[in-house]
Amino acid sequence: MNKPFRELRIITAGLVASTFALSLMPSAAHACEEVTIAGVQIKGNFKSNGAATTFLSGDPRVNEFFTYELQPGKGKSTTPYVGVNLPSLASGSLPNIGSFEFFVFDYEIPSTSPLADAGLKIYAQTSDGFIHIAPVVSEVEDSNNGFTAQFVDVAYNNFTPLITFHEVVKTINVRYSGSAAGTIFFIAPTIAGSQNTIDGFNFNTVNDTAFNN
């Protein structure tokens, strides 16, 4: 786990989230360059299944983080209809961070809720075109106002097929197909590589309509 790093990440993200306006908004102060992320809501039978991705300027736990509210659809479809693209489709590939090392973020759920881990997956595409998938195993970060932040730390060697330490990751997305937790709130993403760390993102208020890999 990247515990020493995550405390600074949470502090900077919260401070900047209370400062910037509501267009395309940086969530932290130390990005290597501006990178836009976006919620994902795939066009389809939304009226019948209720799936929705919504940008919010404050999270429910501390009201300091920009967040995407991810509300999964109801029904038996195995296709994830909601999630987050890092970067968004409009922004193209991630900036060159060197060899991919880890990706971290938090999701918030009601403190009495089951975890959402089983419904979350991370998809990464490396520069050779291959798609790599990682499961989510979270741990408690903090609780406040009836909500708990679950910390997710995904390293290069958590993916299948394995991402080797020297590989460059071009795109990452988080897909949520639903769980017993129901609606969750995605906050404070960071991507780290051998050359750069991106811990500040512009949050697009307009959803992408497809995942970026």
Instruction: Report pLDDT digits (tens) over 48-83.
Output: 577 889 999 999 999 999 999 999 877 655 566 799
Q: Residue 92's pLDDT band (boundaries 50, 70, 90)? A: confident
Q: Lowest mean pLDDT: which of 1-10, 98-107, 169-178?
A: 1-10
Q: What percent of the chain has pLDDT over 90?
A: 67
Residue-level pLDDT at 166: 85
Q: What is the mean pLDDT of residues 29-51?
A: 69
13-45 core/surface letters (b: 16 or more CB in 10 A; e: else): bbebbeeeeeebbbbbeebbeebbbbbbbbeee
Residue-level pLDDT at 22: 39
Q: What is the mean pLDDT of residues 99-109?
A: 97
CA 53, CA 59: separation in Å to the nearest integer?
14
**Cα 31 from chain centre:** 16
Tokens 């998809």 — which residue? 123
**Which DSSP helix (H) or strand (E) runs through 13?**
helix 3-17
Q: In 3D, which of 42, 66, 64 has the Cα closest to residue 173?
A: 42
Instruction: Report pLDDT digits (tens) over 130-153.
Output: 999 999 999 999 999 999 999 999
Q: Give this prediction's pTM.
A: 0.86
- The domains of the chain are located at 3-208
Q: In 3D, which of 212, 175, 167 has the Cα closest to residue 194?
A: 167
Q: What percent of the chain has pLDDT over 70?
A: 78
Q: What is the mean pLDDT of residues 103-123?
A: 97
Q: Is residue 25 predicted with pLDDT exceeding 50?
A: no
Q: What is the mean pLDDT of residues 18-28?
A: 39
Residue bearing the bigger pLDDT, 70 or 166 = 70
Q: What is the mean pLDDT of residues 3-23?
A: 44
Residue-level pLDDT at 33: 53
Q: Give the angle 173-200-167 at the CA atoms, nearest 5°.
A: 50
Does the structural domain 3-208 have CATH classification 2.60.120? yes
Q: Which token pair is 78?
A: 């195995």
